[in-house]
Chain A
């Protein structure tokens, strides 16, 4: 066994099993240990605890609202990345790209629909998630700071949706952003400067489109991912999802 096990012939014979075992680590031992290892041995699952409280599984308690928001964010990242292959942030090309997506590109119209409807749904579900956390009193100690991060995430979500609104460069986009950026200009003292910086000029034009594009595809998603990481990490550090005190 000892010498032959390392021979090339043996290695090739056990290749599939060896590759599989190198990727998925086994916990070994009892069934319970095996299941625990399935969670903490996996990079993507290890944000979860090995055991969860039964209250966290009650669909009538959370309605899965936060999770739905997160799933919509994942769908938005995937569909957004695909849309980027056919989009140019230029006032001359952006609208034509939209038309191409609609009529020329295979499945382009479906992808655009998925991206648009998920964006609307994410704003709605993030807001509903906030309502759930409020009505169950889940922002109370020790979860205060996670609520603050959640509010920041809601703002980032709104801003992501707002910056994405300009990108199709149609009438709806142009005038919504004109109105929106002029609301910002009412900030006392710095309003006009903030507007100038946001639009990169005095009017909604090429510079504004490029700025909104960079914010939409790079800056804000990065901020959202970091905040999401902290948000999830804090759930565990604060003792899992909230549940009635006398438990």
Chain B
């Protein structure tokens, strides 16, 4: 089926048969090929992402003891170092409030002896009331309260994986 042009070079034909081409069939095979490629590449990429998501975290436990009740006298505000919370005990009960700024995660500093402002973020100047409500600055949400209970030994335990949505105080 090969032919020759004026220079004598051999030109191979593109296809061997001059018969009719089933365009539908070609189109179907092409679509199937593209779909198989997409599934393969996409699946591989998804598995790579899944591989990169760690299953075990070597981080401090989210449930931890903060000490005996006697360590928290009425009217005290005690920052638990390394846990990003403050334990506040007032006359009507106690609660654990997050000290991680809801804006960009900086550590908030409690403000001493101020009747209105309870907390202040050093990074972008967000201020929060004593109960954690946003007062000013770019923080989008209030500071969360965490679940708190007393275990059988009488120690106060805080669980930072559970947010105390209703903001109820632990009455002791």
Q: Which residues of A contact B (CB under 8 A)?
A: 175, 178-179, 181-183, 196-197, 200-203, 205-207
Does B68 lie at the interface of the complex (its beta carbon under 8 Å from any beta carbon of A)?
Answer: no
Binary interface encoding of chain B residues 32-54 relative to chain A, with 1 for a CB under 8 A from any of its CBs, else 0 = 00000000000000000100111
With known contacts A197-B49, A197-B52, A183–B57 Cβ distance under 8 A: no
Contact of B53 among A175, A179, A197, A206 (CB under 8 A): A197
- Which residue from chain A places its CB closest to the CB of B105 in the assembled complex? A182
What A residues does B104 contact at CB under 8 A? 178-179, 182-183
Q: Is the CB of A202 within 8 A of B59?
A: yes
Q: Is the CB of B54 within 8 A of A207?
A: yes
Which DSSP category, helix, strand, loop or mixed, fits chain A's interface?
Answer: helix
Which DSSP category, helix, strand, loop or mixed, fits chain B's interface?
Answer: loop
Give CA–CA (A205, B54) in the complex, Å.
Answer: 13
- Which residue from chain B places its CB closest to the CB of A201 in the assembled complex? B57
CB distance from A174 to the nearest CB of B (A): 11
CB distance from A134 to the nearest CB of B (A): 32
What A residues does B106 contact at CB under 8 A? 175, 178-179
Q: Which 7 A-B residue pairs are closest in the complex by CB-CB distance?
A: A182-B104, A182-B105, A179-B104, A201-B57, A178-B105, A200-B54, A201-B59
Binary interface encoding of chain B residues 53-77 relative to chain A, with 1 for a CB under 8 A from any of its CBs, else 0 = 1100111000000000000000000
Does B123 lie at the interface of the complex (its beta carbon under 8 Å from any beta carbon of A)?
Answer: yes
What B residues does A182 contact at CB under 8 A? 103-105
Contact of A203 among B49, B53, B59, B123 (CB under 8 A): B59
What B residues does A197 contact at CB under 8 A? 49, 52-53
What B residues does A203 contact at CB under 8 A? 59
What A residues does B53 contact at CB under 8 A? 196-197
